[in-house]
Amino acid sequence: MSADQSRNAKKVMAVPSRRRRALPERRGDRQPMAVPRSGKVSPGSWRRSLSGGIYLLPVLLAGVLIWAGLKLPGIFAAAPEFRLQALEVKGLHRLHGQDILAASGLREGQNLFTVDLDQVVGDVQALPWVRKVTLERRPPDRLRVKVEERRRLAWIRLDKLYGIDEDGVLLPAEKEEGETRADLDLPLFTGFEGIAEGKVPGERVATPALQQALDWWRQARAQDAEFCLNISEVQPLSGANVRLLLVGDGLEVRVPVDRAGERLGVLKNLMGRIYKEFPEPAYLDLRFAGQAVVGGKTAQQTAEKGEDHGAG
C-alpha cells in the first residue's frame, strides 16, 4: 500500500460510525405511558375523572329510584309480613272506633301497601260528625287514623230540628254519648231562608246570611261564653245584621254581624242600665254608630202595627 493510500485509510478509520436512525413507531406499537414512581397523578386528570363521575351520578340515582318505584310496591304487596292487623284511631269524642272501622271498609289481613288511602279517607270523612281525617301506614301491620270531629255550634230549625257546626254542616239532633249539658245548651237559629227541605246530617246548608250569623256567634262565644248563655235565639235581619232574643223576658237585641267581641262588650255593659231606666224594655238596637236605641213594648207594638198596615 502506498503512503497516500495509507493516509486515506487512516482518515476513513478516524470517522466515527453513525448510529442507525430508528424508524418512527406505528401507532399500534405504542406502549402506555408509565406512571412515575412517586404514584402522583396530575390535577388535571383528577378533575376530568371527578367531573365525569358527577355527571353520571344523577343518572344512576334516577335509574335506581325508578327501578325501586316499579319493583318495591310489588315486593311489599306480595310479602306476608305486611298484613293489616290493627287500626289505631285518635281524636274521637262522640264516635267510636267501630264507627270508623265500619265506614273505612278495611278488613283484617288486607295488605298494608295495597290499601287506597285516599278512598279510606273519603269514606270516613263522609260520616256527619267527621270534619277531617288523616291516614298513615304504620308497618308492618297497622294503620293510624287521626280524626277531627265536628262540634255542634247551635241548633237550627228547618223542616225539623238539626244541630249545625261552624261550617254550616248539619248534625244529628239526637244527644250523643258523652255529650254534657254545656254541649246541648245552645241557641236556636230560626228564620233563615233559601235552604231546601229534606236535608240530611252531613250536608252543608250555609247561605251567606246563615254563615255570617254562625261566624258572629262563634266569635261571641270565644269572647265571653258565660254571657252568651243569655242568648236563646238568633234570627236574620235585613243587611248584615242579626236579631238576638235573650232568655227570661225575651228582650230583642239588634246588632250588626261585624266586630262580634266589641258588640258583645257594649251589650254586656248596657244590660245593667236598661232595666233601671226602662221598666219594660222590648228591644235594644245597636245598629247605629255611637248610640244605643231602647224601645218599650208599647212603642214596639205601635211600630209593628205600622209595618203591618204598610204591608197591607
Answer whether 0.85 is exceeded by the pTM: no
Q: Is the pLDDT of residue 5 over 50?
A: no
Mean pLDDT, residues 82-87: 90
Residue type (1 letter), 140: P
**What is the tens place of the pLDDT at every residue in 112-137?**
999 999 999 999 999 999 999 999 99
**Residue 170 counted as domain residue:** yes
Whether residues 104 and 207 share a domain: the answer is no
What is the β-pairing status of strands 154-157 and 252-256?
A: unpaired
Its domain, for residue 272, covers 165-311
The four Cα atoms 177, 180, 186, 189 give a dihedral, to 10 degrees, of 0
Whether residues 181 and 234 share a domain: the answer is yes
DSSP 121-187: HHHHHTSTTEEEEEEEEETTTEEEEEEEE----EEEESSSEEEE-TTSBEE-SSPPTT--HHHH--P
Whether residues 260 and 124 share a domain: the answer is no
The CATH number for 230's domain is 3.40.50.11690
**What is the tens place of the pLDDT at every residue in 10-68?**
443 444 444 545 444 454 444 444 434 544 555 555 555 555 556 667 777 776 667 55
Nearest alpha carbon to residue 91 among 151, 140, 45, 142: 151
Boundary-marking domain end, from 95, 114, 149 = 149
Residues 168, 268, 285: CA angle, nearest 5 degrees: 75
Residue 301 is inside which H or E element, if any?
A: helix 297-311
